[in-house]
């Protein structure tokens, strides 16, 4: 989202209401299993920000993708293995 100011979020909420469009879900993407603790923290902060945006827009539901190990680099290979990938090495 290019503009996350309160004014713009209010505009979007009012615009959708005026057009009779209910904003019902926000889909967000982050990675809570990244091995880098700083990256995990950035993802937690991103999620908190998205929850606040959803609230500003009157959105009641959030679809949250929690991340993956990234031990299978190719998404096609990951899907061929039904989304199962090896865990990170210890």
DSSP per residue over 2-58, as a string?
Answer: ----HHHHHHHHHHHHHTT----EEEEE--TT-S-HHHHHHHHHHHHHHHHHHHHHT
Residue 52 pLDDT level (bands cut at 50, 70, 90): very high
For 33-43, what is each residue's pLDDT tens digit? 888 899 999 99
pTM score, whole prediction: 0.79
- Tell how strand 61-65 and strand 25-29 pair up: parallel
Q: How far is CA 63 from CA 57, 72, 74, in A?
A: 15, 23, 23
């Amino acid at each position: 989202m290019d503009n996350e100011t309160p004014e713009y979020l209010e505009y979007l909420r009012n615009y959708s209401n005026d057009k009779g469009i209910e904003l019902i879900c926000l889909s967000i993407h982050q990675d809570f299993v990244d091995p880098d603790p700083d990256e995990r923290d950035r993802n937690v902060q991103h999620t908190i920000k998205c929850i606040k945006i959803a609230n500003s827009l009157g959105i009641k539901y959030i679809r949250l993708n929690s991340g993956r190990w990234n031990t299978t680099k190719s998404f096609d290979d990951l899907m061929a293995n039904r989304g199962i990938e090896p865990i990170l090495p210890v």
